[in-house]
Structure 1
Amino acid sequence: MATFAPLQRLVIAVAILASFVTFLDGTVVNVALPAISRDLGGGIITQQWVVDAYLITLSALILLAGSLSDAYGRVLVMRIGLIGFGVASVAVAASFDPLTLIVARAVQGAAGALLVPSSLALITATMRGDVQSRAIGVWTAFTTAAQLVGPLLGGVFVDFLSWRFVFLINVVPIAVTLVLLARLRLPEHPRGTGVDWWSGALCALGLGAVVFALIEQPVRGWGSPVIWAPGAVGLVLFALFLVRQQRSSAPLMPLGLFRVRDFAWGNLATLFVYAALSLNGFVIGVYLQQGAGLPATAAGLASLPMTVLMILVSSRAGAWAGRLGPRLFMTVGPLVMAAGALLLLTVAERFDYWWQVLPAMIVMGLGLSLTVAPLTAAILGAIDEARSGIASAVNNAVARVAGLLVVAMISTIVGGTLDLAGFHSAAWVTATLVAVGGIVSWIGIRGIPADAAGADGPAQPAGAG
């Protein structure tokens, strides 16, 4: 980070570390799922809930956190989130049955919701233009590496210690971030306005009910009132959430943001790309252990090529997108990822990582490296600084909801059992999702800078041109 000023380097370091713990914890769990299931029981449904309990509160409350960040200051909200996340992590590690673990994961997700929008908003509020694009590229490289290196660290802990230690990995980065945060002096201007707590409740309950229906449906069927009733109630609650956003004086998700073309289309691309990433991460982490018979550490190592490529290429892709525009990268990157996902169809009963999985990881890693930083820069660069916190929160919420829904549907996608046929089905769905993300980007993204928009008006209406 030699090209950044000292204050900018400190901001980037804090943003990376604060996001690191949530991204790491969101993915490190995948490789620990078989061990958790063996220890606490529950099968694939418990495994889904361990992932989705975290994602439900993270997805739903990240919007509320965005408003809190803008209303009361990013540093304060981030400090509270870090402390809460550390405490919840200890509770997760100490869980003694599936229910306790799931509840603790939900609390952990709620604390994590305070971190991501505040951390990225620090960058978007203090840097603009090419400097911002390069900073987001650096942030993306390290935070995405956290998502990808998580399975490796988790595998080492599962094989040589216990799955419980997997959830204590983030204690050190939390402590370091709190120290750096105390040194950060930024001229913040919190609005001090009210926060729409009712909207947060409607969003959380609506998502939770829908996810419950999706996860339990393969067991009970859609005809069961235990399934369709929560599903219907969840959809109604989420519809009420959207209606409230139109009428609220301080909405958690200002629908007017979606009149900005790059913001709207970029979030649609985010939905498809991050759904694919979540599906691939879950399936790789579980199948390589339960299906291919690899130890947890080896299963974690499977994604290491993606990590290396993200670190080497992502910051450069962010800088290239700052000069050339994000559209090309957001189109080509997902299509390359789709090709990589299709290479996973070579996985056979006679398993060989070097010829069946490694090529797919390399190709997917290259595509991901070209995609993520330009995608983030396009979305947040389309929105003025005054609304950077809520814009970041909306984008992160879209990404988490994408993962939340696809994990809830994993039993349906793989046909109830994550065997070889189920693994291949997941590869097809992954390839389709990222390909659609690339097509959406080509159709919608124009690369209009935020400076071209007024403080309250959109840069260009979605769908125009």
Structure 2
Amino acid sequence: MLGAVSVATFMLLLDVTVVNVALPDIQQSLDSSFFDLQWVIDAYALTLAVFLLAAGTLADQLGRRRVFVVGLAIFTVASLLCGAATTPLMLNLARGVEGIGGAVMYAVAPALIANDFHGKQRAVAFGISGGVTGLAVAVGPLLGGALTAVSWRWIFLLNVPIGVLVTVVMLTRVAESRDPERRRIDWPGLAVFSAALSMLVFALIRGEAQGWTDPLILGLFAGAGVLLPVFVLIERKRRDPMLDLGLFRIRSFNGLAIATVAANAALMTAILFQVLYMQYVLGFSAYGTGLRYLPLTLAVFVAAAVSGTFADRIPARLLVGVGCVALGLGMLAADSVTAGSPWTDLLPGMLLAGFGMGVFNPVRAAAAVALVPVSKAGMSSGMSETFQQGGVALGVAALGSVAHSRMSEDFSAAVTASGQFSGQAADRLAAMVSAGRLTEVAGAVPPAQRALVAGTANDAFVAGLDLVMRVGGIVAIVGGLLGFALMRQRDFPKEPPVSDVEQSAVQAPAH
């Protein structure tokens, strides 16, 4: 079971990062616009974040194995459609459906592990799962580069045979489990929460490109602000709510949520900007960039395996605090690179950050399900994964916006000071730099000015990168300290909160 769940989780997380390196090939093959390419990323990110809680709650009621297999089937079929896409619209629609399937698997996976493993075995299982999570994030550029060398379609088609094999294992080797007390689906809560989260995540994803004061973005934020309180009112009145609001009366869950948002906001934004730095400033290929991320991959995997082994003997709050602080210190160690720095200047911070994330990932997933009865594991893990993906969206939006502003200001000031460009021309070029179009900006000026523009663009991008590492590092450290302060060992039951009798009552054998 653990192998099947880990492979499925690896696939869905890999699809978050693997697509980035294939965008140029997709653009050429499908004649896509820049807007189309943005939606290749955003469609998956949006649906992945929105349906996590709903999937976890439905799994508790309908059966975790059943819902996981349905999500896996959706993901596999959508991957096939992505690989067969003949137009940008077809690809983007398929990516949105793929994100729904990914959300189902991601939300239910921790609940399946919690149901099948207990005590030290559960800690080890979450350690392995956490290592796989870090592995998927880190090797995305490497595997994407290798597959794109054959065809960009293979980054999606490879999921199909793997998805079929995992489905067979799940149906033949994994027992069914569910919450025996949950009888009705909370359709009003599901609809309102999904709508509210869709508005919020969409606004975060598109706010930088559209402009934070754009009427559409402001309207989306306002809509989410209205619907979320409505959702709370609905849940208070429901006999079988999709989200037990009592979860937020547990101090340890709140501390874990804060640390989860902070850690993912910091690290995922840092990885995004470091990958762009290696490719656009240092000139490495996508494959070469992926190779240089292998130390991070190794650090995450080893730290996750080791921390999982000892997690049953170490307080969760300590692992959360140490993991986030190590992640933050690793980011701060990499906040002083320049356009001429060798990539090895990133290595110490990369290893320390990888160690931190490797320590944090397993305890985050394990603690989310340990704080509630096993019968509620899907709901709790779905909420925890929502915080994780929400942190990613928030980090890319907030830290990305700060970095882009710094890049634009530095570039515009430098080229204007050179006396070779008017203020209007400098602002136009600065907009290209802040949008990450570093390879295009030099071609937008006469040959005599290209060296100046290219060098200034690289310096401006590095200034933005350094700011991301500095601010993100502080965010991760503060989040870890708050998590440590709020989490309490007494919130975690010493024994699994499900008796052997209840366990046998809620499980059905695999067929």
**TM-score normalised to structure 2 length:** 0.80
Over residues 187-234 of structure 1, what are the superposed CA-to-partner deviations in whole Å (9 max), with x where a residue is unaligned?
534546222233333233323333443444445544442332232123
Choose which of 351, 355, 361 in structure 2 pairs with 1:362. Answer: 351
Aligned with 1:139: secondary structure?
A: helix
Aligned pair 1:25/2:15, yes or no? yes
Give the C-alpha shift of residue 55 in structure 1: 2.3
Q: Does 1:450 align with 2:440?
A: no
Q: Establish whether residue 378 from structure 1 lines up as the match of residue 378 from structure 2.
A: no
- Once residues 56 and 211 of structure 1 are traced to their aligned partners in structure 2, the CA distance between those partners, rounded to angstroms, is 6
Using the alignment, how far apart are the partners of 1:223 and 1:311 within structure 2?
Answer: 41
Residue 228 of structure 1: aligned partner: 218
The aligned runs of 1:429-444 (5 Å cut-off) are 429-444=471-486
Determine the structure 2 residue equivalent to 1:352: 342
Bigger mean CA offset, 114-123 vs 203-212: 203-212
In the alignment, which residue of structure 1 is the partner of 2:191? 201
Structure 2: how far apart are the matches of 1:291 and 1:312? 30
Q: Which residue of 2 aligns with 1:462?
A: none
Q: Distance in 1 between matches of 2:176 and 2:88?
A: 45
2:389 pairs with 1:400: yes
* 1:167 corresponds to 2:153: no
Look up the equivalent residue of 1:377 and give its one-letter code.
A
**Superposed displacement of residue 384, structure 1:** 1.6
Query: Partner of 2:462 in structure 1?
Result: 420
Q: Which residue of structure 1 lines up, in the alignment, with residue 378 of structure 2?
A: 389
Structure 1 residues 136 and 200, CA gap change in structure 2 (3 angstroms): same
Say which of 116, 120, 123 aligns to 2:110.
120
Number of the residue aligned with 1:181? 170
For 1:85, what is the secondary structure of its paired residue?
Answer: helix
**How far apart are the structure 2 equivalents of 1:410 and 1:93?**
32
Which among 312, 316, 327 is matched to residue 322 of structure 1? 312
Cα distance in 1, alignment partners of residues 339 and 6 from structure 2: 40
Instruction: Measure how far apart 1:281 and its partner are.
Output: 2.8
1:5 is matched with which residue? none
Aligned to 1:87: 77
Distance 2:324 2:228 in 1: 29
Q: Give, in angstroms, the shift of residue 245 of structure 1.
A: 2.5
What SS does structure 2 have at the residue aligned with 1:163?
A: coil
* Structure-2 change in CA distance of 1:368 and 1:223 (3 Å): closer
Q: 1:282 to 1:347 in 2, by over 3 A?
A: same
Q: Does 1:103 align with 2:145?
A: no
Matched, 1:13 2:3: yes
Pairwise mapping of residues 148-297 of structure 1 onto structure 2 (< 5 A)?
A: 148-158=138-148, 160-186=149-175, 188-189=177-178, 191=180, 193-297=183-287
CA RMSD of aligned residues (A): 2.5
Q: CA 1:119–1:220 in 2, change beyond 3 Å: closer, same or farther?
A: closer
The more displaced of 403-412 and 264-273 is 403-412
2:420 corresponds in structure 1 to none
Aligned-pair CA distance for 1:110: 0.7
Give the letter aligned to residue 399 of structure 1: Q
Gaps in structure 1 of 5+ consecutive residues: 1-10, 456-465
Deviation at 1:386, TM superposition (A): 1.5
Of residues 48-57 and 59-68 in structure 1, the stretch that sits farther from structure 2 once superposed is 48-57
Give per-residue Cα distances to partners, 1:314-351, cap 9 Å, x unaligned: 12202222102122221122111112112322321114
The verdict on how the C-alpha distance between 1:116 and 1:215 changes in structure 2, with shifts beyond 3 A counting, is closer
State how far apart, in whole Å, the 1-side matches of 2:129 and 2:174 are.
20
- 1:442 is displaced (CA, Å) by 1.8
On the 8 A contact 2:56/2:379 being kept in 1, the answer is: yes
Report which stretch shifted further, 250-259 or 391-400. Answer: 250-259
How far apart, CA to CA, are the structure 2 residues paired with 1:388 and 1:395?
Answer: 10
In structure 2, do the counterparts of structure 1 residues 353 and 95 end up closer, same or farther at CA, with 3 Å as the change threshold?
A: same
Distance between the aligned counterparts of 1:127 and 1:224, measured in 2?
A: 49
Are 1:131 and 2:117 counterparts? Answer: no
**Alpha-carbon distance in structure 2 between the residues aligned to 1:411 and 1:269:** 20
Q: 1:69: how far off?
A: 0.8
Larger Rg: 2
Structure 2: distance between partners of 1:291 and 1:237: 43
CA distance in 2, matches of 1:26, 1:199: 28
So what's the TM-score if we normalise by structure 1? 0.87
Q: Which amino acid aligns with 2:483?
A: S
**Aligned-partner SS, 1:348:** coil
Question: Is contact 1:56-1:401 (8 Å) kept?
Answer: no
Distance 1:242 1:37 in 2: 43
**For each residue in 1:61-119, what CA deviation from the matched residue of structure 2 results, as whole angstroms up to 9, or x when unmatched?**
11111121111111111111111101111222334454443322211111112212322
Superposed displacement of residue 57, structure 1: 1.4
Change (3 A) 1:286 1:181: same
CA distance in structure 2 between the aligned counterparts of 1:209 and 1:188, rounded to whole angstroms: 33
Give 3-state SS (helix, strand or coil) of 1:297's partner. Answer: helix
Q: Matches of residues 53-92 of structure 1 in structure 2 within 5 Å?
A: 53-92=43-82
- Point out the more displaced range, 395-404 or 235-244: 235-244
In 1, are the aligned partners of 2:297 and 2:354 still within 8 Å (CA)? yes
**Contact 2:259–2:324, Cα closer than 8 Å, also in 1:** no
Q: How far is the alpha carbon of 1:59 from its aligned partner?
A: 1.7
2:298 paired with 1:298: no
